[in-house]
Structure 1
Amino acid sequence: MAFPRLYSLCIFASLFLSLLRHSVSGSGSIGINYGRIADDLPSPAKVVQLLKSQGITKVKLYDTDSTVLDALSGSGISTTVALPNEQLSAAAASQSFTDRWVQSNIVPYKSIIETVAVGNEVFVDPANTTPYLVPAMKNVYASLAKYGVAPSVKVSSPIGFSAMQTSYPPSSGSFKPELIPVIKPMLSFLEQTGSFLMLNAYPFYAYEANTDKISLDYAVFGDNQGVVDPNNGLVYKSLFDAQVDAVYAAINAVKPGHFRVVISESGWPSKGNRNAAAYNGKKAAVNAAAYDGETGPASAVNAAAYNGNLVRRVLTGGGTPLRPDEPLSVYLFSLFNENQKSGPISERNYGLFYPNEQKVYDVPLTLAALGNRGSKAQVPPTWCVANGDVGPERLQVALDYACGQGAADCGPIQPGSTCYNPNTLVAHASYAFNSYYQKNARGPGTCYFGGAGYVVTQPPRFGSCEFPTGY
């Protein structure tokens, strides 16, 4: 497809502005995703007031709703808008379509729009829109150039971490081979237009699926010894940094150069299904009433720790180990809990705010707010409990190991002791597992027991027995 004559001039101007911004860049930036898959949200005008009250100066939308954009106009809030996946085919087939789209949705709001996200996680779109992605991006850019807004409005497309074939160690990061024929020309386009790659990164999913291998501290930026990349000796103190650098390595393997990555989504749910562990094959079977609908890693304390520490990391912590001088730009997911989203309960509970504008939990979002909080946010305590679904034989073997070779403190579950009652295998195994877990500093794999144990974020309740923590 041929671009208009303005294309080369716009590329030059875009690259110049990009280099200028890079030369004067300082700390990273925090924005927020404003999703609206709900029927109980406040009006866009009220949302803008909420954003301003929290010091948020960057917002990302999933469409170009004129009511929302009208409310944002004049607010001083930089806005990312989206061309939805369902419009990619039309955008790829005809620049006339993107001309009309840009005229209607971008030009009237050019003072606030800084990026157009073409599609969202297109590689996993059930409608198979991947072949349309790059042609659609090129047509959108050509239309932006035609109407004189290309120098100030970037074009990109958010990809999910599922696009990765390999992510550990980070230096060995690689994209899935079947995606290379699309990713390579997309990276060329981003390079030519001075844009960046958008990445949706969720350490929550990796932790939820691998609680036996990944510690909670590593997942939520807590204190930990770190993980060393054996290929280059870099030390990673957070799963987030490891994921971002794995993507940088994957980019470099496809197209070497100094590409920038913007984190278009990252967050942690404040609530999940009572048997959330069932989603990764570890169904919970321990006193459900103890968990208040928050069994597993999806909880308000974990969400507050992750998002609070992520904000601090972005605003004060520089770049990643592989790109230490590249300030991070992150859009938190998300502004509100969205009650009409499909899937497990966690999908409807990523919001920092309830629809009534009250906070789900308290997280500072600006440097000024961070300065009033003192030291780094604390990682919440966790416990290890037994999974009764594995059956009594496997539980007994694991219990024997914990109390024997594992050197757990099993005195309190002996007859007549404080935690003997209730006299059940699940209760006794849970106590022993937790003792082993806490004595080993909640390290990766210390609550696995061959699938017989799993981590919870609420204190276990078995009679009057109190389970110790490392705190």
Structure 2
Amino acid sequence: MVSRSFFYLLISPIVLFSAIFVSDASGSVGINYGRVANNLPSPEKVVELLKSHGINKVKLYDTDATVLTALANSGITVVVALPNELLATISGDQSAANNWVQSNIIKFYPQTKIEAIAVGNEVFVDPKNTNYLVPAMKNIHASLVKSKLDSAIKISSPLAFSALQNSYPSSAGSFKQELVEPVIKPMLDFLKQTGSYLMVNAYPFFAYAANSDQISLDYALFKDNPGVVDSGNGLKYHSLFEAQIDAVVAALSAIEYDDVKIVVTETGWPSMGDENEIGASEDNAASYNGNLVRKVLSGSGTPLRPQDPINVYLFALFNENQKPGPTSERNYGLFYPNEQKVYNIPLTEEELKGGQSTPVKGNTSQAPVAGEVSKTKVGQTWCVANGKANEAALQAALDYACGEGGADCKAIQPGAKCFSPNTLEAHASYAFNSYYQKKTRAAGTCEFGGAAYVVSQRPAYGNCEFPTGY
């Protein structure tokens, strides 16, 4: 997710989720593996994490060699990306495209199961890149043809909703007129000629947060609701997500590209946000992602394409502590950097069959210190040690927090009330949180070189209460 357009799909209030339809063929659930953070586990550990949770599809934002090497022979299919900053070069130089494919695709394939290349990401958000997109896609495709990989690896480009002119009702969906002839139609022609699909990034959260007075939260989270009838075609919608996707379907139909398939390459809901980011919470994130997975795995499509199973990539694998922007940007992860779940949802059909039919909030394993996690007020956050950091890094950060940083560490001295549990990780968590709270939880005050991260539930600390603030 390089950028997010604040695309407001307005649906009348009161809304969402009908009974799940059983289908022989289900859609697929993958996950976006972003790495804009300094506290994430190694790629090898990440591959183990993906496999342990049955996740067999992953989307990257680059072609990092260490990540692609770690994914080799894992059985996980991979979508890689050519960054926006390379579009100009690749679009005008076939030899540059050949070199990029050689160094970033052929070098790793087929041991790493690369199935698609995302050429750019939400390119239309930045007008200067627009004219480069289709030529770059064609040059990369020509390189794949040369290497006889064009039938195995598809090429597309994730579309942001800002490319739509109209979105409500869904049946009135249309692309911005200034994009249609110069780039949308040429791109769709290319997708059809190569047997590829349109990548779409869809975030109901943004529409809800901006229009919570008009859009029902139940509608946004796939919960039970009366549904909303599209005034243009009479179809009833039970989720904002489906309405957004069908707005794209209608936009395709309006320019006579009905046969282009869609894959949702990003969608998600933040577990934490700023005060003005209405709806950002663990409960809502668990509901949205958990219910979306159920919808996808049921095999049912959208009202305009009921026979087409939905394929999605959830955003994102981890909370990423170095992403710029509002608090929500750093809290879309399904997992903390210590590989524990932020909240518990089913990710596979096996987990659904195993009885995990509702999102479960309050997974105590997310706290790095043993004990129960107490309920907290919305907006409260704490800083804890990253148990994956090495001891030297933790000790150095602890020394800084208790020394120059000015954290109140008297309570974790020998014999003091918070000395137990007597572990480096526990003491570091206490000190980091003291520093973080004294700094009024300001951005960047819970990093410590990757040795710490923010959580939204108060961690337990033996018989000592973890401080809330000062």
Same fold (TM over 0.5): yes
1 CA distance for matches of 2:295 and 2:359?
11
1 CA distance for matches of 2:141 and 2:24?
25
Post-superposition CA distance 1:360-411 (Å, at most 9, x none): 00111000101223655599xxxxxxxxxxxxxxxxxxxxxxxxxxxxxxxx
**Do 2:188 and 2:257's aligned partners in 1 also have CA atoms closer than 8 Å?**
no
Find the counterpart in structure 2 of residue 198 from structure 1.
199
Find the counterpart in structure 1 of residue 285 from structure 2.
303
1:334 equivalent in alignment to 2:316: yes
Relative distance call for 1:43 and 1:376 in structure 2 (3 A) is closer
Find the counterpart in structure 1 of residue 157 from structure 2.
157
1:313 alignment partner AA: K
Relative distance call for 1:25 and 1:133 in structure 2 (3 A) is farther
Structure-to-structure mapping, 1:12-411, within 5 angstroms: 26-111=25-110, 112-125=113-126, 128-180=128-180, 181-273=182-274, 275-277=275-277, 296-373=278-355, 375=357
2 CA distance for matches of 1:113 and 1:121?
21
1 CA distance for matches of 2:101 and 2:151?
14
**Do 2:343 and 2:360's aligned partners in 1 also have CA atoms closer than 8 Å?**
no
Unaligned ranges ≥5, structure 1: 1-23, 278-295, 380-457, 459-471
2 CA distance for matches of 1:213 and 1:378?
28
What number of residue pairs does the alignment pair up?
340
Post-superposition CA distance 1:330-355 (Å, at most 9, x none): 00000000000000000000000001
2 CA distance for matches of 1:60 and 1:231?
35
2 CA distance for matches of 1:207 and 1:317?
26
SS across alignment from 1:27: coil
1 CA distance for matches of 2:63 and 2:184?
25
2 CA distance for matches of 1:351 and 1:376?
18
Higher helix proportion? 1
Deviation at 1:81, TM superposition (A): 0.2
Post-superposition CA distance 1:268-313 (Å, at most 9, x none): 000001x225xxxxxxxxxxxxxxxxxx200000000000000000
1 CA distance for matches of 2:24 and 2:167?
28
Post-superposition CA distance 1:161-193 (Å, at most 9, x none): 111111111111001111112111000000100
Of 108-117 and 131-140, more deviation after overlay is shown by: 108-117
**Do 1:69 and 1:109's aligned partners in 2 also have CA atoms closer than 8 Å?**
yes
**Do 1:60 and 1:81's aligned partners in 2 also have CA atoms closer than 8 Å?**
yes
Find the counterpart in structure 1 of residue 378 from structure 2.
none
2 CA distance for matches of 1:256 and 1:165?
17
1 CA distance for matches of 2:56 and 2:24?
16
Post-superposition CA distance 1:201-234 (Å, at most 9, x none): 0000000000011000000100001111122211
Deviation at 1:58, TM superposition (A): 0.3
**Do 1:122 and 1:133's aligned partners in 2 also have CA atoms closer than 8 Å?**
yes
SS across alignment from 1:158: coil
2:166 alignment partner AA: T
**Do 1:187 and 1:255's aligned partners in 2 also have CA atoms closer than 8 Å?**
no
2 CA distance for matches of 1:206 and 1:378?
25
1:324 alignment partner AA: P
**Do 2:301 and 2:310's aligned partners in 1 also have CA atoms closer than 8 Å?**
yes
2:248 alignment partner AA: V
1 CA distance for matches of 2:229 and 2:299?
19
2 CA distance for matches of 1:255 and 1:97?
34
Deviation at 1:198, TM superposition (A): 0.2
Structure 1 stretches of at least 4 aligned residues deviating more than 3 Å after TM superposition: 374-379
2:173 alignment partner AA: G
Find the counterpart in structure 2 of residue 13 from structure 1.
none
Relative distance call for 1:377 and 1:224 in structure 2 (3 A) is farther
Relative distance call for 1:135 and 1:50 in structure 2 (3 A) is same
2:290 alignment partner AA: G
Unaligned ranges ≥5, structure 2: 1-22, 362-456, 458-470
1:354 alignment partner AA: Y
Relative distance call for 1:306 and 1:165 in structure 2 (3 A) is same
1 CA distance for matches of 2:358 and 2:42?
34
SS across alignment from 2:343: coil
2:291 alignment partner AA: N
**Percent identity (aligned):** 64
**Do 2:158 and 2:199's aligned partners in 1 also have CA atoms closer than 8 Å?**
yes
Relative distance call for 1:25 and 1:74 in structure 2 (3 A) is farther
1 CA distance for matches of 2:309 and 2:204?
19
2:85 alignment partner AA: E
**Do 1:184 and 1:255's aligned partners in 2 also have CA atoms closer than 8 Å?**
no
1 CA distance for matches of 2:245 and 2:45?
34
SS across alignment from 1:155: strand
**Do 1:137 and 1:156's aligned partners in 2 also have CA atoms closer than 8 Å?**
yes
**When the two structures are superposed, what TM-score results if normalisation uses the length of structure 1?**
0.70
**Do 2:346 and 2:356's aligned partners in 1 also have CA atoms closer than 8 Å?**
no
1:341 alignment partner AA: K
Find the counterpart in structure 2 of residue 465 from structure 1.
none
1 CA distance for matches of 2:349 and 2:102?
37
Deviation at 1:110, TM superposition (A): 2.3
Find the counterpart in structure 2 of residue 408 from structure 1.
none
2 CA distance for matches of 1:135 and 1:25?
39
Relative distance call for 1:101 and 1:329 in structure 2 (3 A) is same
**Do 1:80 and 1:113's aligned partners in 2 also have CA atoms closer than 8 Å?**
yes
**When the two structures are superposed, what TM-score results if normalisation uses the length of structure 2?**
0.70
2:174 alignment partner AA: S
1:30 alignment partner AA: V
1 CA distance for matches of 2:342 and 2:279?
16
Relative distance call for 1:165 and 1:71 in structure 2 (3 A) is same
SS across alignment from 1:190: helix
2:154 alignment partner AA: K
